[in-house]
Structure 1
Amino acid sequence: MFLNSNFYEPGKTRAEKQYVHAASKQNQRYDKRRCNEWRDVELTYGGNWGVVAVTLMDTKVLAQVSCDIGPPSAARPNEGKLQLNVSIGGVAFLDEAQSTYEQRNLTLNSQLERIFCISRCLDLESLCVAAEKHVWWIRVDINVLNHDGSLHDACSIATLAALMHFRRPDVTYTDDELRIYTEKERELIPLLFLHYPVSVTYSICKSSPQPLVDPTLMEENAADSVIVLSFNSYQELCTLNLGGCAPTNVMTIMQCARNAATRCKAMVEFIRKTLGLDEERRLQSNVPKPALLALLGENKQKFSFKQLMEGYQKPETPRPRDSPMEVDDAEVCEKPNVQEVSVKKEQPKKEESGWKTFSKKEQHAALMETGNWLPEEPMNDHELPTTSKAATVKAAKAKNLTKNKAIKRPQQFERKQHYSISDSSDSEEETTQVI
């Protein structure tokens, strides 16, 4: 039925790795995409609230949301709970006997918990019915039907769309009595969100100058490193996972993050549009509700990203990893002002004063003549002059002036002779020079 119907995982052989690396050098991929192009995302909503199927070419994920009332945790008695359960048993080549099954399952579970639970995308306080007694427990079951790359992206889109599509029943708690109303008695209530996170995956090859966005399974296995970025609709970074052995510089990660933030914002707008279209479809009584098996087939109720988001701006091409840090493209394209450049050229250089006007030989000769390269001999306590404070200040100023004159005109000073500590010998070896 699907592409990976056997136990063979593509991208592990040496020939496939060489093929992926050679194609990425030429900005080409085996599915006729460029390095910076995404695959089309298709959403299909089920008949029940909170049932969503996501199709990313051959990657297919089904998410379903359910709710129940239970006791809160002791640490947060006035907040509800959000639980995520991922199952990849539907993928044929990821058998339970293989080591890749547990590794991928744990990685995917932890990644989704960081995106939705730890980042607190839901307003859990709104799920409280009675503090320290009853709260709503929201459970999201994610079933991976087929895996052909970018599984984190498909699962995050399916989880977010299912939570936004879900409606919980209304409930009241009076006189220690809990009553849950049906859909006919009262309207169902949607969940409240604080932000809307979505993840984007990049694969990096050592031989390629730019990363591959939305990689397939073969490209993920053949790549040297994989970057998973998650942003919300406010273009704020939620999580960042970087694993592998390929060296990546700051410019590559920043360019990937910029494109991922734009992609996540567009994906949230796409989900909101599909929710509005699905609500219009539900108001029509003659439209049949899709069954569970019809979610993955070709039907009229499937929403495509390329069709609804025609004006979506394409992402920028990331710069090579080895290129030096440069300014933005908008700043580079701007032409410099000719008048400013001419003014800068016409400005004369300021004349340097002090030691900079003399060469190193002249400075050395001046120091040797004036004797400033030797420390001054300390005076004894009984030889210190007893003068007033004003006199000492004037003496210090006069001393500074004489030093400045000595620097500007070093040849006018008389030569002073300094002898060594031992007067018995005049050899250069026994003289102590302190610089």
Structure 2
Amino acid sequence: MFMNTGLFEPGKTKTERKFIQQAVKQSQRLDGRKSGESRDVQLTFGGEYGSVIVALGNTKVMAQVTCDMGTPTTSRPNEGKLQLFVTLAGVSYLDLAQKTHDKRSLTLNSLLERTFRTSRCVDLESLCVASELHVWCLRVDINVLNHDGNLYDASTIAVLAALMHFRRPDVTFTDGELRTYAEKERDMIPLLFLHYPVSVTYCIYTSNFQPFVDPTLLEENCADSTIILSFNSYQELCTLNAGGTVPTDVRTIMQCARNAANRCKAMVAFIRKSLDLDEQQRLQGGTNKYAGMLGLMAKSSQQLSFKTLMKGDQKQQQQHKSEDMDLEVEAKPSLKLEEVETEDVENDQPAQEEQQQMDASGWLPQEPELEPTIDLTKQGPGKPKRKRTKANKKKQQQSS
């Protein structure tokens, strides 16, 4: 018997679509958020370097970074390798149908590769030990523990946090011998980054063309169009994915891009703060005894929230915005006075120019070579331009 996959995933039935469209028409969401408000992001670092769990609402993603020594490619002999692998084994309703499972994993994997590999966020040349012989090969495993919408944003945050948290062992290559040092012998070395990309997802509906950020699974499946933007900490666009039935306007895309750039910059600052807190905890000896998944699920692991850590920065941004608004309001009357002054100056300009012309007759050189250049600017009736003479010659030739 054929099993319909749409019955197992929320947001696929007609009644759910109608309900979400009516709620969006009134600019309301089921969890009480506004259209431009995103869910809280929580980070949990494991005992090993490079193990992170990201919770975006009820969406939970685990990322684990491992490294191994390998041989480089012939096209890029001085660069290391970065590989991404996505597994959706934690999502129960996607396991019922193999088509849906494979499609979601392939699309998510391709988007992550575009964000991190194609944009070249990691400095792969620093992973080279010996040219054409030995390079570091990084492998990032992304395991989806629970899917409640906006899986791509949670995965990008998890991958970036795992790569920034990862440390590789030190290696020396002398006289054709490769030696790797343990953590007790030498300190572990962090990865080098060229930029830090983070993605933001928007959904657009036919009932309301206003974009909704960070959609849940029900909102994501009922949406008519989606816009995925990836920015780095320098507010530079890395990737742009847009598709659906609703036509997107340039204004909506620019509006989404501005908000996404600010969101990505704040997210990178949050990851850096959380890494500093984790490093302080490690120096104090408060790391987990267990490694891998057990270390992340242990109660001793510290869970860091975006809203709690970034409260001060958000208040400062709001204060700067209010100060900018006050400055704009105060600047309006001064602009009017400047306009009045500019008008008076413009009215006085012809008199000043006449005075300058009268005074300049005494010190200007009276040479015969300069006289034709001055007369050409005046364009007298007896001295037409060269362009006019050429045009007249062409007309005479055509008439003849």
TM-score, normalised to structure 2, is 0.78
State the match for 1:77 in structure 2.
77
The 8 Å contact of residues 53 and 296 in structure 1, kept in 2 or not, is answered as no
State the match for 2:248 in structure 1.
248
State the match for 1:148 in structure 2.
148
State the match for 1:66 in structure 2.
66
AA at the equivalent of 2:186:
R
1:299-321 CA deviation, whole Å, 9 max, x = no partner? 661000011010344999xxxxx
Alpha-carbon distance in structure 2 between the residues aligned to 1:258 and 1:140: 30
Alpha-carbon distance in structure 2 between the residues aligned to 1:331 and 1:20: 41
State the match for 1:308 in structure 2.
309
Cα 1:135/1:34, change in 2 over 3 Å: same
State the match for 1:175 in structure 2.
175
User: Hey, which bits of structure 1, 4+ residues long, moved more than 6 A?
Assistant: 328-334, 340-348
Cα 1:62/1:7, change in 2 over 3 Å: farther
State the match for 2:188 in structure 1.
188
More helix by share: 2
The 8 Å contact of residues 25 and 209 in structure 1, kept in 2 or not, is answered as no
State the match for 1:224 in structure 2.
224
Q: Does 1:50 align with 2:56?
A: no
Deviation of 1:27 after TM superposition, in Å, equals 2.3
Cα 1:238/1:173, change in 2 over 3 Å: same
Cα 1:330/1:10, change in 2 over 3 Å: farther
Q: Does 1:102 align with 2:110?
A: no
Alpha-carbon distance in structure 2 between the residues aligned to 1:330 and 1:85: 50
Alpha-carbon distance in structure 2 between the residues aligned to 1:143 and 1:293: 14
Residue pairs, 1:381-392, within 5 angstroms: none
The 8 Å contact of residues 79 and 135 in structure 2, kept in 1 or not, is answered as yes
The 8 Å contact of residues 233 and 265 in structure 2, kept in 1 or not, is answered as yes
1:389-409 CA deviation, whole Å, 9 max, x = no partner? xxxxxxx95698xxxxxxxxx
Q: Which moved more, 1:63-72 or 1:86-95?
A: 86-95
The 8 Å contact of residues 7 and 95 in structure 1, kept in 2 or not, is answered as no
Cα 1:199/1:18, change in 2 over 3 Å: same
State the match for 1:137 in structure 2.
137
Alpha-carbon distance in structure 2 between the residues aligned to 1:112 and 1:242: 15
Secondary structure at the aligned position of 1:99 is classed as helix
Residue pairs, 1:193-204, within 5 angstroms: 193-204=193-204
Deviation of 1:99 after TM superposition, in Å, equals 2.6
State the match for 2:268 in structure 1.
268
Deviation of 1:339 after TM superposition, in Å, equals 4.7
Alpha-carbon distance in structure 2 between the residues aligned to 1:110 and 1:76: 21
Cα 1:138/1:399, change in 2 over 3 Å: closer
* Number of aligned positions between the proteins: 337
Greater C-alpha radius of gyration: 1
Deviation of 1:288 after TM superposition, in Å, equals 3.9
Q: Any gaps of 5 or more consecutive residues in structure 2? A: 1-5, 319-323, 348-379, 385-400
Alpha-carbon distance in structure 2 between the residues aligned to 1:223 and 1:216: 10
Q: Any gaps of 5 or more consecutive residues in structure 1? A: 1-5, 317-327, 349-395, 401-435
Deviation of 1:19 after TM superposition, in Å, equals 1.8
Alpha-carbon distance in structure 2 between the residues aligned to 1:285 and 1:399: 92
Cα 1:287/1:210, change in 2 over 3 Å: same
Alpha-carbon distance in structure 1 between the residues aligned to 2:269 and 2:113: 23
Deviation of 1:13 after TM superposition, in Å, equals 1.4
Secondary structure at the aligned position of 2:48 is classed as coil
TM-score, normalised to structure 1, is 0.72
Alpha-carbon distance in structure 2 between the residues aligned to 1:112 and 1:98: 21
The 8 Å contact of residues 7 and 94 in structure 1, kept in 2 or not, is answered as no
AA at the equivalent of 2:310:
M
1:345-380 CA deviation, whole Å, 9 max, x = no partner? 9999xxxxxxxxxxxxxxxxxxxxxxxxxxxxxxxx
Identity of aligned residues (%): 62
State the match for 2:10 in structure 1.
10
Deviation of 1:50 after TM superposition, in Å, equals 0.5
Secondary structure at the aligned position of 2:241 is classed as strand
Cα 1:277/1:15, change in 2 over 3 Å: same
Alpha-carbon distance in structure 2 between the residues aligned to 1:123 and 1:287: 28
Secondary structure at the aligned position of 2:153 is classed as helix
State the match for 2:27 in structure 1.
27
Alpha-carbon distance in structure 2 between the residues aligned to 1:294 and 1:335: 59
